[in-house]
Structure 1
């Protein structure tokens, strides 16, 4: 995106304390956004009307501000769009309660909404305030299993380049044993396909390995499944784009999240790239395996 536009790009960044809002703002600043954290909502309009350089802006907002509420944020987004000074987007950084507690414990920080209480109370209070914005978000990034480098990759995927006329697609694999990803639009179950886990020579591999992918492809149901999913995705993506959606996430799940779902995600991503769609791929369980959180 050309950062000198008549209607500048404006990203409001929010989410529970500890989910990575400050880190996301730093990434956006590196991408050329003017970044301001802890921005009172009442000052946004005046900021946009300032005659200074019309760079894209990223504003961190959170319940610490006295004028913050889900209704106030929604109203602000509508008012910004109506006056035409900016194209507003809401980026929500999500995270599970257990991981937020772990992060506060590791840093020994007090929760900003529970100065004299345990962090659990502040987290619960903040999530209750933020929940309506989670469903309203234009982009939702679940940081539960992300390190700072992976978070940077996710933010860069959604906001670098900035061609608002294109649809960005994220394809993910996951294990049903660990639950569905919290921020996906479409989910496909791969557990009916033959499982390489039961082949000793393939068990330690993953769906990115040719031998594993070839073994799965020998299942007579694999080819038709892939074709139907690929055709459905290629048929739906232009429709989502026509409706003004700028981001779409698709996930494939299997039992362990190592073999079948990985192979199907890689196949769809390759097909979409060939059709000239902007695609990023993430394999949730493989990432955890690399970090040593789960064993091979």
Structure 2
């Protein structure tokens, strides 16, 4: 028996392994990776804050801490490398500021080697050097009545001279140099925010709190406003069980003679003073509205003040400290 003839011009399918572009995913399975974006990662930042004792390193560190940097002070340089190795751009510590200076004495000499290791391993860092003239440094040490960490048996000027010699190589390679001789603490904070952290003026965060005088005045209040000059909804049977967050109570309180004008006038009073708070490096303002029990009048008026200030572009949150205590 002869084999059947093969039809002419029939193309034989190539084995999968012989194709130039074999499929990499079985049919019917969507290619999720082709449309899924990679998670964004933020670059880790390392700041070495150094300079002369008395030039404002501690103040600079406090400002960075307020800006959500992880700050370590007076850390031996040999511990910097493992600490930097623990940083993560996707979570945990992303921005590290380490204050290193001559207080470490014999340990301070190790800093040069640590910096070179950063370079060898491609770790990005910046050096912030704070300085001041000798007369200013002497005056600051005399004001706090503390010796210079390097003066030993000598004078404050001897300690300053020794520290200048030890830190000269860091001053020469600093990315940011700040002379604080003519700066007060607020001006220094502003410079650190803008030149070191790359952040401008922080917006003012306003908290409007309602409270009852029978429970005491809030300890953290910057402004205390007594609204007990208004009639108390507690004595209205239909309103007694409600709170200032209920429409019936709010309408009643704001409908009282002078109530709405009082709140609007207070908003007008607050607005021009906000710039002063920011200039004094105080980014938080707490206004406390108090009535007898902290349930009706203070709640309604503090809520209304919050609405007025938000409409003027301020960041405001409302808290009702004593609501529910009765």
TM-score relative to the length of structure 1:
0.49
Higher relative contact order (CA 8 A, sep 6+): 1
Question: Greater Rg, structure 1 or structure 2?
Answer: 2
TM-score relative to the length of structure 2:
0.45
